[in-house]
């Protein structure tokens, strides 16, 4: 079978031939049809080599291992980001099942063997390309909105940017009855966010102190919940845009891991800051049931996978970038 391996340099990917693995006890083989990219994949490509990349993919079950029940050959499925984290509390043991990182091959290959309870059936109306966008970004968005203290109808949610997590969070927040304020550097992307239900849009080039604009739009109060995908570079402004007693879900580091963070506003405003790293297969199942339509910006052929990485790095996309596999 064909698969891609990370090279640890440019170009990032090299095509290779691999053996078609057989499923063990409690496992299934998924014939892959699509895979999507996340910012995490750029970071891994800089630090790893000789591993199959990408964590998010969908396909068709082509073989069953011993003892597998509740699945059938031909089932259309999406694979969990951490197939070993099916439900319950997060642990280090569950984290090591994260796909597409050193020591654990990912989904940018024609066939993947996965534990049977590590995948979720997808509805007939959902394409493989759409389903492939869900395991990381959509699950993260769900966790940011609904874990611990779920967003309530009428609350204001602040979202930063128009990448995968933020667009999924927009769709899910609107489905939950929330008011959504979203930021971007692109008026065109903000127009597209409006069509998905965004109530207020802020171009942060026009409003560099966008936290002040959020306060204006909320009558000086601030957002009930903010989803920060950038990390230290935006966290100080996010805190100032969040109401007293509000919440911030920190889910990404698009602007890097390091930078000064002011603790004062977090303490003074009694803001709950929760950090999140994706979620279990059970959350993926909930996302699928939610029935939202994933926003796929562009689909690349299998031989164009390197171009998909380049597009992700350029950050001009709205929603998700996908690679089609086989089929």
CB burial readout 55-84, b (16+ within 10 A) else e: bbbbbbbbbbbeebeebeeebbbbbbbbbb
**pLDDT tens digits for 196-253?**
999 999 999 999 999 999 999 999 999 999 999 999 999 999 999 999 999 999 999 8
**pLDDT tens digits for 229-242?**
999 999 999 999 99
What's the rounded Cα separation, in Å, for the pair 82 and 135?
Answer: 9
191 preceded by cis ω (within 30°)?
no
**pLDDT tens digits for 43-99?**
999 999 999 999 999 999 999 999 999 999 999 999 999 999 999 999 999 999 999
Residue 183 pLDDT > 70, yes or no? yes
Looking at CATH, the fold of the domain delimited by 148-275 is given as Rossmann fold (3.40.50)
Which pLDDT belongs to residue 2? 97
**pLDDT tens digits for 256-315?**
788 899 999 999 999 999 999 999 999 999 999 999 999 999 999 999 999 999 999 999
State the chain's mean pLDDT as an integer.
Answer: 97
Give the mean model confidence (pLDDT) for residues 184-195: 97
Which pLDDT belongs to residue 255? 74
- Which sequence spans correspond to the domains of the chain? 2-136+279-324, 148-275
Residue 327 pLDDT > 70, yes or no? no
Which pLDDT belongs to residue 256? 79
Residue 138: pLDDT band (50, 70, 90) is: very high
Model pTM score = 0.97
The hierarchical CATH code for the domain 2-136+279-324 is 3.90.180.10
Which pLDDT belongs to residue 258? 87
What are all long-range contacts of 239-245, with beta carbons under 8 Å and residues at least 24 apart?
A: 239/265, 239/266, 239/269, 239/271, 240/211, 240/215, 240/265, 241/158, 241/210, 241/211, 241/214, 241/215, 242/158, 242/269, 242/271, 243/218, 243/269, 244/269, 244/270, 244/271, 245/269, 245/270, 245/271
Which pLDDT belongs to residue 20? 87
Residue 153 pLDDT > 70, yes or no? yes
């Amino acid at each position: 079978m064909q698969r891609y391996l990370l090279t640890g340099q440019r170009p990032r990917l090299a095509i290779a031939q691999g053996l078609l693995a057989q499923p063990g006890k409690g496992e299934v083989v998924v014939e892959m049809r699509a895979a999507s990219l996340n910012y995490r994949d750029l970071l891994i490509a800089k630090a790893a080599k000789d591993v199959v990349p990408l964590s998010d993919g969908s396909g068709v079950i082509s073989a069953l291992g011993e003892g597998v029940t509740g699945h059938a050959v031909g089932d259309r499925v999406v694979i969990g980001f951490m197939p070993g984290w099916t439900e319950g509390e997060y642990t280090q043991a569950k984290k090591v099942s994260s796909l597409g990182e050193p020591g654990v091959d990912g989904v940018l290959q024609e066939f993947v063997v996965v534990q049977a309870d590590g995948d979720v059936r997808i509805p007939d109306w959902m394409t493989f390309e759409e389903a492939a966008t869900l395991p990381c970004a959509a699950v993260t968005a769900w966790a940011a909105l609904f874990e611990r203290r779920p967003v309530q109808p009428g609350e204001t949610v602040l979202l930063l940017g128009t990448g995968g997590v933020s667009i999924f969070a927009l769709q899910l927040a609107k489905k939950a009855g929330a008011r959504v304020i979203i930021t971007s550097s692109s008026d065109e992307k903000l127009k597209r966010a409006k069509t998905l239900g965004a109530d207020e849009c802020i171009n942060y080039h026009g409003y560099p102190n966008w936290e002040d604009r959020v306060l204006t739009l909320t009558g000086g109060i601030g957002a009930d919940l903010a989803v920060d995908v950038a990390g230290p570079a935006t966290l100080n402004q996010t805190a100032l845009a969040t109401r007293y007693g509000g919440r911030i879900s920190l889910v990404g580091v698009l602007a890097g891991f390091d930078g000064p963070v002011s603790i004062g506003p977090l303490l003074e405003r009694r803001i709950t800051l929760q950090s999140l790293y994706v979620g279990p297969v059970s959350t993926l199942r909930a996302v699928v049931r939610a029935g939202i339509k994933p926003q796929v910006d562009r689909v690349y052929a299998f031989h164009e996978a390197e171009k998909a990485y380049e597009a992700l790095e350029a950050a001009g996309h709205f929603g998700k970038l996908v690679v089609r596999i086989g089929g």
